[in-house]
Amino acid sequence: MNENRSALTRAVAASPAARILVVEDEAALSMLLSYNLEAEGFTVDRVERGDEAEIRLSETIPDLVILDWMLPGVSGLEICRRLRARETTRSLPVIILTARGEESERVRGLAIGADDYVVKPFSVPELMARVHALLRRARPDRASGVLVFGDLALDRQNWRVRRGGRDIHMGPTEFRLLEHLMVKPGRVFSRGQLLDSVWGLSAEIDERTVDVHIGRLRKALSNASEQDPIRTVRGAGYAFDETFGRIV
pTM of the model: 0.54
Domain assignment present for 54: yes
pLDDT band at 32 (very low <50, low <70, confident <90, very high): very high
* Model confidence pLDDT, tens digit, residues 142-181: 555 778 888 899 987 778 999 988 999 999 889 989 988 9
Chain-centre distance for alpha carbon 189: 14
Q: Of 18-27, 50-59, 108-117, 119-128, where does mean pLDDT reach its minimum?
A: 108-117
Domain assignment present for 13: no
For residues 63 and 129, state if they share a domain. Answer: yes
Domain assignment present for 96: yes
For residues 233 and 188, state if they share a domain. Answer: yes
Rounded distance between C-alpha atoms, residue 167 and residue 161, angstroms:
6
Residue 85 belongs to what domain range?
A: 19-138
* Mean of all residue pLDDT scores within the chain: 82
Domain assignment present for 245: no
Domain assignment present for 53: yes
3-state secondary structure 96-139: EEECCCCHHHHHHHHHCCCCEEEECCCCHHHHHHHHHHHHHHHC
For residues 79 and 108, state if they share a domain. Answer: yes
Q: What is the CATH number of the domain that holds 56?
A: 3.40.50.2300
pLDDT for 128 = 86
Domain assignment present for 201: yes
Contact 54, 79 (CB under 8 A): yes
For residues 91 and 129, state if they share a domain. Answer: yes
3-class secondary structure, 147: strand
Number of domains in the chain: 2
Query: Which residue from 133, 157, 138, 131 is spatially nearest to 146, judged by alpha carbons?
Result: 157
96 forms bridges with which residues in the sheet? 67, 117
For residues 78 and 150, state if they share a domain. Answer: no
Contact 182, 154 (CB under 8 A): yes
* Model confidence pLDDT, tens digit, residues 98-140: 887 666 666 766 777 888 888 888 888 888 888 888 887 776 6
pLDDT band at 204 (very low <50, low <70, confident <90, very high): low
Residue 241 in this model has a pLDDT that exceeds 60: yes
Domain assignment present for 206: yes
68 forms bridges with which residues in the sheet? 97
Domain assignment present for 1: no
Q: What is the CATH number of the domain that holds 164?
A: 1.10.10.10
